[in-house]
Amino acid sequence: MAAPVFQVSLQASDHPLWSGNATYVIVPDRDGAQAFLGNHEPVLLLLKEGNVQITKEDGTQIFFHIDDGFASFDSNYLVIAVDHGEEATAQNSEDSSSQKN
């Protein structure tokens, strides 16, 4: 059985970073990290600097390094709004995470 798909919009303050369908997303929130699957309950989170991991509908993963912002999930639509962000490779994402721990 395929995981439920939901829409994601990742926006920096001055430009869009990525939008599309995903099956799994992890964001860095103020308490650690929050994971989203389709049909997640509505939530509003404050984000901290860290890495967003998106598993796209086709199973490929993409990563973005972000700074402060917020994430809102409602009706199978996840909006991630940040001041600044840039795409990162999986290796860069892991390196950044290990340096902060």
CATH code: domain of residue 71? 2.60.15.10
Number of domains forming the structure of the chain: 1
pLDDT of residue 101: 41
Please tell me the distance from the alpha carbon of residue 44 to that of residue 42, in angstroms, as a whole number.
Answer: 7
Within-domain flag for 35: yes
- Considering the domain boundaries, does residue 27 fall inside one? yes
pTM over the 0.85 mark: yes
Is 87 within the bounds of a domain? yes
Amino acid letter, residue 90 = A
Give the number of other CB atoms < 10 A from CB of residue 2: 7
Q: One-letter amino acid identity for 32?
A: G
Residue-number span of the structural domain to which 61 is assigned: 6-100
In a domain, 44, yes or no: yes
> What confidence tens digit (pLDDT) does each residue in 45-83 have?
999 999 999 999 999 999 999 999 999 999 999 999 999
Q: How far apart (Å, rounded) are the C-alpha atoms in residues 30 and 68?
A: 9
